[in-house]
Amino acid sequence: MSVTTEPSAARDHAPVGKPNPLFKNLSAKLASIPMIITALVVFVGGTTWTVVYSFTNSKLLPRANFVGLDQYERLWSTRRWMVSIENLAIYGICSMILTLIIGFTLAALLDRKIRFENTFRTIFLYPFALSFIVTGLTWQWILNPDFGLQNVVRNWGWESFAFNPLNDPNTVIFGILIAGIWQGSGLIMCIMLAGLRGIDEDIWKAARVDGIGTVKTYLRIILPMMRPVIITSLVLIASGIIKLYDLVVAQTNGGPGIASEVPAKYVINYMFRAQNLGQGFAASTMMLVSVIIILIPWAYLEFGGRKRG
């Protein structure tokens, strides 16, 4: 009996090795290989190719005739590019602040359990379902001084009323900003509303018991708890700011003159209209650098700080 049981007892007490984490969820990892290869080839490869050829004097077709930093020197000495950067900064700062404030305000109002909440939520979100071209053309009509808002108000009797931002070089970027905020605020509202609905009702009850007002509750308790939601909203708004192109083309096409030029339009014009790939690649690279400058500090503070904590 002892001879037959000893091997089985030894097997029962034999140490079981931990499975190799490399083979954990192996089927999912194998299924993700095509996506990883696509990302490496298309995104990383395309980005590297763009950066490399930004140092060439490529015109209609790319050619490896390197000219050093000539394209970048020309880029930063071009008034059109400087106007584009200034417009993007103005649009970006105003859009980031106003879209976030309007979206959160609408979400806070809907979170009060008002009547016809679903109807209002659909109305506020509807502009986001439209394409940027449709939004741009719609607001071009609304802001047209001949038959838009200015004409309507003057027909009501206010003859001196003037509101014509798209034809004024000093205010044209704010006319584009109106359309951008109108389209993007609904999405931010929905994201904020989802975050507010995730707040425990007991927190509100405790705030009322402590005599904390509604505004202070939002500012001191609710907003800090919604930090991940706010960061997500900011990332979405920032991605839309960097890609600003369709609204400009639909409303002003960069006019009057070059007053409403933006970097994305500069890139498109030089790559496909002026047939100057080198200059377009240089502008694209500078847009990439601006995104990296913003993302690296944010990623370090968000994820690095969390690991240390």
**pLDDT of 81 strictly over 50:** yes
Which pTM was predicted? 0.84
- Asked if 232 and 191 touch (Cβ cutoff 8 Å), the reply is yes
Neighbours of 212 (CB within 10 A): 16
Q: What is the pLDDT of residue 236?
A: 87
Q: Poorest-confidence range of 11-15, 169-173, 182-186?
A: 11-15
As a CATH number, domain 70-308 is 1.10.3720.10
Cα distance between residue 213 and residue 219, in whole Å: 10
Q: What is the pLDDT of residue 301?
A: 65
Q: What is the pLDDT of residues 193-247, one digit of tens each?
A: 999 998 888 888 888 888 888 888 898 899 999 988 998 898 889 888 988 999 9
Return the bridge partners of 56, or none: 66
Instruction: Look up residue 66 and give its DSSP letter.
Output: B
Q: Poorest-confidence range of 24-28, 93-97, 184-188?
A: 24-28
Q: What is the pLDDT of residues 86-106, one digit of tens each?
A: 999 999 999 999 999 999 999
Q: What is the pLDDT of residues 171-183, one digit of tens each?
A: 999 999 999 999 9
Q: What is the pLDDT of residue 231?
A: 85
CA dihedral 151, 153, 158, 159 (to 10 degrees): 0
